[in-house]
Chain A
């Protein structure tokens, strides 16, 4: 067998190993839910059909998914900007950071949902409340990781910057941000997961529009099938978002992974 065909055969078996369980799971739940359909666990086929009807033909995507996506993006981006800025500042001022640590620890330790009623009282049930809460709660992991990342800059680099008298903005963009990037991304990944969870919770309490609202509303009206379609769409939403973030991270951090591989002895 020539090498190319061997390679194809290997990717083929690899793919088969990856695929069999998801296929079995989907097929299994498809037939099992058909056979043992109950009020709370409707057949998968019904859910799939209703998903098509509600979300694609009925405009559910525009009505409930896009608003969710938009407010998550706005809140998450705000969290990234605020987290990186605050983190860089605190990372460069170790004394201040240590003095403020009881406060940052406390804010990080609050289970985010507990802040929901406070946000409701300040901002009402509208868009502002949702975005502020998403941004505020998902900011902390990014900030804490940025502090760590900025600290990881070698002192010698600091002295070099000092002797070249680099402007603060240049230091931030060319030294601190790249050095902190791997940590920032690790924090942002956690923050994204937290952000999605917070998004769902605030939508369950806020004004109409959004995946969380749809699921909660369906449940309260005992529209079990509609609720399941919402959960299905939310699952796909979460998965795609995560995949998107990962490919973005991979592109940005390519140099870092290459460097790690190099120091671990890989030949390029």
Chain B
């Protein structure tokens, strides 16, 4: 059965679209040459930044050099405040993501299992998920003030939709033969979840999880930026208000590293959890 929602991300195909799949795994010295060139590209970018910071345009915008920003970052890393802010942002993001999985996946599976339920909810879901989640920040601010809870609530909103939609596909595509086979083999409930349900659902939900991760991080930082609370976003805003541009750039770099780290983590998890999926074949070392 093809999906009813016109919101399809093309379920497992989306797994193919991740960068790891196109990463050609050259071996031996070729790999090292690429690594070296990549490092050179990063250094080149930093050098360009440094040069650009010397121009009048950059001076007018109070832009610090790359060196200055990295040194400032080094100073910040040694303070407890840095890790507190980083921890707060990571914590808000993680709680929001886990909450979205707990809410989104069961709801999506239930909806996807039944044609009638899907028809009934389709228009409501289509409408609700197009509302930009940042629109809720002012309301959440009025209700909850400048708190971490506010940030988490606002971050759940955009993260839950991709999970719901991918889980709907998972529910729709559930193979009845698998269920019958597991019944004939008298699998226990635990085994059925572990060996039948989990792999099937995981392959579908994964692309949704990747989207949810990015969305949750974007909105977490936005909410902190607009609504205060404590975290990377508010540190960035403070640095801007007090005109400490090196600190500002150091925090932006931190946000960038956090994003990279989360992406890398997802990549590793994907190889560990989905190695059996056809789209992952040939990508392992």
Residues of A within 8 A of B (CB): 14, 17-22, 25, 40, 94, 98-103, 105-106, 108-118, 120-122, 144-145, 147-148, 151, 183, 186, 190, 193-194, 196-197, 199-201, 204-205, 211-212, 215-216, 218-219, 222, 224, 227-228, 230-231, 234-235, 238-239, 241-242, 246
Contacts and interface: CB of A to CB of B under 8 A. Distances in A.
Contacts of B62: 121
B19 A105 contact: yes
Interface string B111-141: 0000010011111101100111111111101
Nearest first, the 8 closest Cβ-Cβ pairs linking A and B are: A109-B259, A219-B138, A117-B240, A113-B222, A114-B255, A17-B119, A111-B221, A235-B131
B92 interface: no
Interface residues of B, number: 69
A218 B63 CA distance: 33
Nearest to B119: A17
A111 B218 contact: yes
Nearest to A141: B214
Contacts of A121: 61-63, 240, 245
B42 A102 contact: yes
Contact of A122 (B37, B61, B132): B61
Contact of B225 (A122, A201, A238): A201
B130 A215 contact: no
B252 A114 contact: yes
B236 interface: yes
B31 to A, nearest CB: 11
Contact of B252 (A19, A110, A201, A222): A110
Nearest to B226: A204
Nearest to A199: B132
Given A110-B255, A212-B134, 20 more contacts: A17-B120, A21-B120, A21-B123, A22-B124, A94-B24, A103-B45, A110-B256, A113-B225, A113-B233, A114-B232, A120-B240, A121-B63, A144-B19, A193-B132, A201-B222, A204-B137, A216-B138, A216-B226, A238-B131, A241-B130
A98 B135 contact: no
B256 A112 contact: no
Contacts of B263: 105, 109
B220 A14 contact: no
Interface string B89-123: 00000000000000000000000000010011111
Nearest to A110: B256
Pick from A110, A122, A147, A190 the residue with the most CB of B within 10 Å. A110
Pick from B37, B41, B122, B126 the residue with the most CB of A within 10 Å. B41
Contacts of A108: 259
A197 B127 contact: no
Given A113-B225, A120-B240, A148-B22, A219 B139 contact: yes
Contact of A109 (B120, B127, B256): B256
Contact of A242 (B45, B130, B225): B130
B169 interface: no
B283 interface: no
B252 A17 contact: no
Nearest to A25: B124
B142 interface: yes
B136 A231 contact: yes
Nearest to A183: B17
Contact of B219 (A115, A147, A197): A197
B260 interface: yes
A159 B121 CA distance: 49
B165 interface: no
A117 B136 CA distance: 21
Contacts of A22: 123-124, 127
7 contacts: A18-B123, A40-B143, A99-B34, A118-B252, A197-B133, A235-B135, A238-B132
Contacts of A197: 132-134, 158, 218-219, 222
A148 B20 CA distance: 12
Contacts of B221: 111, 113-114
Nearest to A122: B61
Contacts of A145: 17
B236 A117 contact: yes
Interface string B22-43: 1110000000001001101110
